[in-house]
Amino acid sequence: MKNKGVALCPNVSYEMLCDMRRKVQRCKELVERDRTCYVPLPTGPAPSNETTAMKKKRGSASALEKAWDLDNRRHLDALLARAFYSGGISFNFARNPYFREVISFACSHDLNGYERRHIERLLESSKSVWPEKGVTICCDGWSDPQRRPIINFLAVCDKSPMFLRADNCQGEIKTKEYIADKLRGIIEKVGRQNVIQIITDNASNCKAEFDNIFWTPCVVDTLNLAMESICELKPPKNNSSDDELFIWSQLEFMHTVKSEAQMIKNFIMNHGMRLSMSNEFSDLKLLSIAETRFASVVCMLKRFVEVKAVLQHMVISDKWSIYKNDAPTTQVVKEKILSDVLWGNVDFILRITTPIYEMIRIANIDTPCLI
């Protein structure tokens, strides 16, 4: 090395120098090969052409998406997942209390998308019109996937509906006093001077406490109860009145149609071979409607009418004829599907319930629908 006081060793030949260079190069290659390979995530901050095109097609992000910073949230989720994958870390490590403490601390200290104040700032525009135009408090009861009873509360004005709170009522008796106490807390939170009315379902315990506040029944729930009284009439009890017995005698066929439709649906959907046969004839499937959905029976019967020809084609096919599993029920299902009486009753039920069903669809939206 010139001017560094280091000179070439005179005993090193050219061949030895080349060999040394090859060894150094080999070491560099080994180090490079063993280095951890970093593969960039497809969900990085820089959007791809496809992502940009999708955003242009869909339009700009909503204010709620911006407040939650969804892109950064997804990117953080992807980074955490990649860390688990690349390190061969057991997914059970996500339950480690110290790991959870780290993530909780990171999420609560100045990370975009994880701050409550962003949402509060977003909602200020809606809250600003409450003193001028008033607020409607809406509450409804439902069950979550774990079957826990939940009561949720919303504040609705002409600006936009706003979620206020959801209370777990597990182990509580939902008396009028209990519901009134929950509503009282919501009213105080919103401001009693801002509350114009309260909208609940038609449960008697929801409307018995507040005599001084205008109470409005939920239109959708009222229509759905009317639908249930028509389509889901239960058999009368031994001590039923003459009027109840007469109503049952006139509408018993609706109960029969509902039971037969559910039996056919379960027979086809709950077995792999029969479901496979159904899929061969049509991409449409019989719907499994949750009981909590409005007009669930009508939705199920509407789909039955849509796949009527498919079902009839299936039960007269050779595959259905040679199907030997549960032969008695298979024959019963075939007879029901080919029965003109069943389809005539289905058409009659849909004709008399369609006006109520269409009104439920019109009213079951987030914006005011009554003028």
Q: Dihedral (C-alpha) 47, 48, 52, 57: value to the nearest 10 degrees?
A: -130
Dihedral pair phi/psi, residue 115, rounded to 5°: -115, 130
Structure tokens at 349: 């039920």
Predicted pLDDT at 211: 56
Confidence of residue 46 (pLDDT cuts 50, 70, 90): very low
Q: Dihedral (C-alpha) 208, 135, 118, 145: value to the nearest 10 degrees?
A: 30
Kindly state the average pLDDT of the residues 344-363: 85
The residue type of 193 is: Q
DSSP string, 16-74: HHHHHHHHHHHHHHHHHHHSPPP---TT-SS--HHHHHHHHHH-SPPHHHHHHTHHHHH
Kindly state the average pLDDT of the residues 238-244: 76
Kindly state the average pLDDT of the residues 212-218: 70
Dihedral pair phi/psi, residue 141, rounded to 5°: -105, 145
Burial of 315 (0-12, 13-18, 19+ CB in 10 A): buried
Which one has a higher pLDDT value, 308 or 325?
308
Which one has a higher pLDDT value, 351 or 113?
351
Residue 148 neighbours by CB under 8 Å, 6+ apart: 168, 170
Q: What is the pLDDT of residues 295-312, one digit of tens each?
A: 778 888 888 888 888 888
CA distance 77 to 206: 42
Predicted pLDDT at 51: 46
Contact 139, 154 (CB under 8 A): yes
Instruction: Say if residue 45's pLDDT is above 50.
Output: no
Query: What percent of the chain lies above the pLDDT cut of 90?
Result: 0
Predicted pLDDT at 369: 53
Among 235, 248, 249, 226, smallest CA distance to 298 is for: 226
Instruction: Say if residue 167's pLDDT is above 80.
Output: yes
Confidence of residue 207 (pLDDT cuts 50, 70, 90): low
Confidence of residue 47 (pLDDT cuts 50, 70, 90): very low
Q: What is the pLDDT of residues 101-139, one digit of tens each?
A: 888 877 776 655 555 677 777 788 888 888 888 888 888
Helix then strand then coil, % of the chain, to nearest 5: 60, 10, 35
Predicted pLDDT at 232: 73
For the chain, give the mean pLDDT: 76
Burial of 286 (0-12, 13-18, 19+ CB in 10 A): buried
Kindly state the average pLDDT of the residues 250-269: 83
DSSP code for 91: G
3-state DSSP of 92-126: HHHHCHHHHHHHHHHHCCCCCCCCHHHHHHHHHHH
Q: Taking the domain 128-217, which CATH number applies?
A: 3.30.420
CA distance 270 to 13: 82
CA distance 353 to 299: 11
Which of the given ranges, 92-106, 229-243, 265-279, has the highest pLDDT on average?
92-106
Q: Enumerate the domain spans of the chain.
A: 49-120, 128-217, 242-363
